Amino acid sequence: MRVRVIGAGSWGTALSLVLVRNGHMVELVTHDALSAAQLNQDRENREYLPGFRFTETIQVVPQGQQGGPANFTVIAVPTGAVRDVLAHVADGGIVCLASKGLDPETGGVVSDVLAQALPASIPVALSGPNLAVELAKGVPTAAVCASGDEDAAELVRKAFNGKGYRVYINDDVRGVELAGALKNVIAIGAGVCDGLGFGDNTKGAFVCRGLAEITRLGVAMGARMETFLGLAGVGDLFATCSSRLSRNYRVGLAVAGGAYVDDAVASVGQTAEGVPTLKVALKLAAEKGIEVPLMQTLNEVLMGILGFEEAISRLMERDTRFELGEKPH
């Protein structure tokens, strides 16, 4: 196959490496001519994913200079940039959505943005516990691709599935996208927990109750609850909340160390989707009438409204109730 990957950060680069390992041709699209020339010269992404050589089957081109037709296109840019890059994608093809965030303009998932920009295109969402460095190394990894079009999902699955990368199929596109986006918010909080020196009890409670919050919100937005128990939900949540390879987790660590949130994000060096996603998630929760006390408290901590001790007291002193919602009948 010939696959076009738009986005030459660590994630887009790692996905490109998987594809060429599986015998496919990749056109990796960067944001400008200078970066494309540098990557073609170095044959390695020294800025975002150093140590992994490009084979001759990876061709790097700047946006706007894409070549001929591809079997499908992968979007692996920060969510806020998706609209811009879709302007350079032809309508009517299969588009694999690997961006994990919510649209800052509308609050929608990336497939909503695709439907507005390229209504004849077929979305396939790719998500799961896929830290870019580990994926590039070939560490055993699993993912899920979701689409309402089973043939499109199967095409993308076959392209990525191979030694070291096991890819499943799901038809809950919205659920896979929401789980992948919202888990980034919880990862920031997990980083704060570890950065403050709390034990595993604290982080276990935070992550579990965080999962309950993002699941409630996701279901209210049209996702299936069970999707949050799969690779895009619990799987990605576990990896992102426990690894220093996770950008969002590292943002939380930095904030716990005293950094302002903007400085914490800058220190990561790449986009941490959890910060803008938190703002959008809180707005959506308010519109849907969903209680999200952990996310509300985390937001106030990141904004400097609440100190760490105040935040902990607020959460620990809340009224207790039945763990899973209403009292069972």
Catalytic residue positions, numbered: 183
- The answer to whether the CB of 228 falls within 8 A of the CB of 128 is no
- The answer to whether the CB of 7 falls within 8 A of the CB of 75 is yes
Residue 178 contacts by C-beta under 8 Å, 6 or more apart in sequence?
A: 109, 214, 217, 218, 221, 223
Encode 290-302 in three state secondary structure. Answer: CCCHHHHHHHHHH
For 133, counting Cβ atoms within 10 Å of its Cβ (0-12 exposed, 13-18 middle, 19+ buried), the class is middle
Amino acid, single-letter form, for residue 33: A
How many CB atoms are closer than 10 A to CB 77? Answer: 25
Taking the CA atoms of the chain, what radius of gyration do you get in angstroms?
20
For 114, counting Cβ atoms within 10 Å of its Cβ (0-12 exposed, 13-18 middle, 19+ buried), the class is buried
Q: Is the dihedral of CA 15, 45, 278, 196 positive or negative?
A: positive
How many CB atoms are closer than 10 A to CB 18? Answer: 24
Alpha-carbon distance of 325 to 305, in angstroms, equals: 29
Residue 9 contacts by C-beta under 8 Å, 6 or more apart in sequence?
A: 48, 49, 76, 77, 270, 271
User: Closest Cα partner for 214 from 317, 145, 146, 285?
Assistant: 285
Residue 327 contacts by C-beta under 8 Å, 6 or more apart in sequence?
A: none
